[in-house]
Amino acid sequence: QLQLQESGPGLVKPSETLSLTCSVSGGSLSDSYYYWGWIRQPPGQGLEWIGSMSYSGSASYNPSLKSRVTMSVDTSKNQVSLKLSSVTAADTAVYYCARQGRYTSGRDFDYWGQGTLVSVSS
């Protein structure tokens, strides 16, 4: 059974860089049939797609965040990472990593991590 687990600091200071890691178990990050994505959800609000990346490093980002976002993959560790720079309070959210079908008819996010809350505060 595929499992995804987000990890990283729960508190980040304004203007600093948020760094999260998603560890994948029960499956391979190198599976070419999937993308690996990040989605966030501010407290009490809806879902916002941040970006998606293939195992080879090909990435797509939300244009509203693109200037601040970097995603990377480490296939040897089966991990996907997210960095978001110059954070403000508006970046406070639960951050989810998720697997996305690359060639499926829905290109849906079919497996999700449990999410990790990141608060931006001094």
**Contacting positions for another protein (CB under 8 A):** 46-49, 52, 60, 62-63, 96, 98, 101, 104-110, 112-115
Q: Of 75 and 112, which CB lies nearer to another protein in the complex structure?
A: 112
Residue type, 57: G
Q: Of 5 and 16, which CB lies nearer to another protein in the complex structure?
A: 5
Q: Write down the least CB distance from residue 16 to another protein, Å.
A: 26
Q: Of 11 and 47, which CB lies nearer to another protein in the complex structure?
A: 47
Two tokens at 78? 């089966």
Distance between CA 7 and CA 71 in Å, rounded?
A: 15
Asked if 29 contacts 9 with a C-beta cutoff of 8 angstroms, the reply is no
Q: Which residue(s) pair with 22 in the sheet?
A: 6, 80
